[in-house]
Structure 1
């Protein structure tokens, strides 16, 4: 899913990019994700957690949640672990793991989060990742997916142009996908979409199509 050199570079700039595009609290996809979670004890899996931005934000606000962040990049996880220690959070753990081959039991998690990942993957890898997400998600659980969304505002299109330039050749085609149809073929039904800065947060539940 990428070279070690790329992951080490991305680990250094990941949080800078995050602050650039999602710095407004009211319209941040990170806060939108948290708003979808209640204060009950739940098991949350953050797939491809990167530097742990989502996992740590969830664990910090939802104290009853047990959050697991997994990533294939040791460089990303090293930075995430440093942030976790600095925040003093005990309800989040970070594990080195391949998201396409999760080492968890079936239906282990109440919530599975996939944030800004799918657009980077080949169709085969995306299929493997989503199928693993479905396998470890409880039948009554939520799959939450955060993805880029092209802004309507001309002013916001200027910084979004940089995102386009740095992504792979198939990025613009992915942006045009009918997401409800995209996830339906993997056994999910779209239940809610929240439009945020440069992004959208999609909430999905399992259906019986697989």
Structure 2
């Protein structure tokens, strides 16, 4: 497996970025990152029931507001394996959410979460850090912990199909965003890695096909001319 997909490498990468990741994402995406997180939640029908929801690869909890607005009476669990990201997430949980979110530090690919324990699974901007075999493992784990009839939604930054837009997007992600990394961290390497992941990932199409092969019903979506792509679906009852 390529070193960039090694879990220890990915964990350390996000630990180093944790002091600036949320700000850089929001500023450099011109607010689209927040919009795409809302659209990720909106791929699942709104529900006021007391559901159990888990946000995989939760990072700093950037998706929590969108999830809670969509499912206001849900019990929300947030999972990530980056210590640095979860330090920020716990602070946000106390400051903005009255410690409502259940935060757990685990690897999404090999957790000990109970089988068939969640009604909804969400995940934003984490798929690109997985190799193909890891995506299959994630699909299997999603299937295992989701209740029959449960729903999921994933979204990821993607390379737009339009050549001109792709060139501009590549320049922006590969050159401009690392400059923010240099300003905030003194080192652009971490943020340049995000473009490398995006370039290798392409879009959610292959990941969505894997989830379909596992047994989910799957629907793909494209956002803002393909700059982000997502897929959502359901586990058979």
Q: Do the structures match in fold with TM over 0.5?
A: yes
Q: Which residue of 2 aligns with 1:182?
A: 210
Distance between the aligned counterparts of 1:45 and 1:111, measured in 2? 6
User: Is the deviation greater in 174-183 or in 108-117?
Assistant: 174-183
Cα deviation, residue 24, structure 1: 4.4
Distance between the aligned counterparts of 1:192 and 1:155, measured in 2? 21
* Higher relative strand content: 1
Distance between the aligned counterparts of 2:98 and 2:68, measured in 1? 7
Q: What is the RMSD computed on CA atoms of the aligned residues?
A: 2.9
Q: Which residue of 2 aligns with 1:126?
A: 135
* Higher relative helix content: 2
Question: Taking structure 1 as reference, are residues 192 and 171 closer, same or farther at Cα in structure 2, changes over 3 Å only?
Answer: closer
Flag as ranges the 4+ runs of structure 1 deviating above 6 A. Answer: none
Q: Which residue of 1 aligns with 2:221?
A: 193
Cα deviation, residue 104, structure 1: 1.6
Give the TM-score normalised by structure 2. Answer: 0.74
Are 1:82 and 2:82 counterparts?
no
Distance between the aligned counterparts of 1:188 and 1:161, measured in 2? 36
Distance between the aligned counterparts of 1:170 and 1:8, measured in 2? 17
Q: Which residue of 2 aligns with 1:2?
A: 8
Q: Which residue of 1 aligns with 2:31?
A: 23
Q: Deviations over 1:20-58 (max 9, x none)?
A: 226148x81111133333222211111111111113442
Cα deviation, residue 154, structure 1: 4.4
Q: Deviations over 1:51-98 (max 9, x none)?
A: 111134423663301110111111110100111111033431111111
User: Is the deviation greater in 151-160 or in 138-147?
Assistant: 151-160
Give the TM-score normalised by structure 1. Answer: 0.82
- SS of residue matched to 1:16: helix
Are 1:166 and 2:196 counterparts?
no
User: Is the deviation greater in 43-52 or in 117-126?
Assistant: 117-126
Query: How many correspondences in the alignment?
Result: 207
Question: Taking structure 1 as reference, are residues 34 and 121 closer, same or farther at Cα in structure 2, changes over 3 Å only?
Answer: closer
Question: Taking structure 1 as reference, are residues 177 and 110 closer, same or farther at Cα in structure 2, changes over 3 Å only?
Answer: closer
Which one of 119, 127, 132 corresponds to residue 110 of structure 1? 119
Are 1:12 and 2:19 counterparts?
yes
Distance between the aligned counterparts of 1:183 and 1:21, measured in 2? 28
